[in-house]
């Protein structure tokens, strides 16, 4: 683990109440991972095939602690 990384979250698993830099690092990594996933699935699909994705989402203005049951303190 690189404690100097912007993704360093002080050993925590979730980013509830994490600094903005941690949230941004996770979002950046998610975008890269999703792109890789979609490119790989595109190679597997037959012409005219479909890919269904179910991706849970929440409004940007919703508190992370409300989503994951964490606490604000």
CA distance 70 to 27: 19
- Nearest 10 degrees: Cα torsion 10, 15, 18, 20: 120
The tens-digit pLDDT sequence of the chain (73 residues) is 678 887 777 777 776 777 888 888 888 999 999 999 999 999 999 999 999 999 887 787 877 667 765 555 4
Tokens of 57: 């989402």
3-state secondary structure of 42: helix
- Total-model pTM: 0.64
């Amino acid at each position: 683990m690189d404690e100097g990384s912007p993704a360093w979250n002080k050993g925590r698993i979730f980013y509830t109440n994490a600094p903005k830099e941690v949230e941004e690092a996770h979002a950046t990594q998610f975008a890269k991972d999703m792109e890789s996933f979609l490119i790989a699935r595109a190679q597997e699909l037959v012409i005219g095939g479909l890919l269904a994705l179910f991706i849970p989402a929440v409004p940007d203005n919703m508190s992370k602690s409300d989503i994951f049951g964490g606490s604000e303190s």
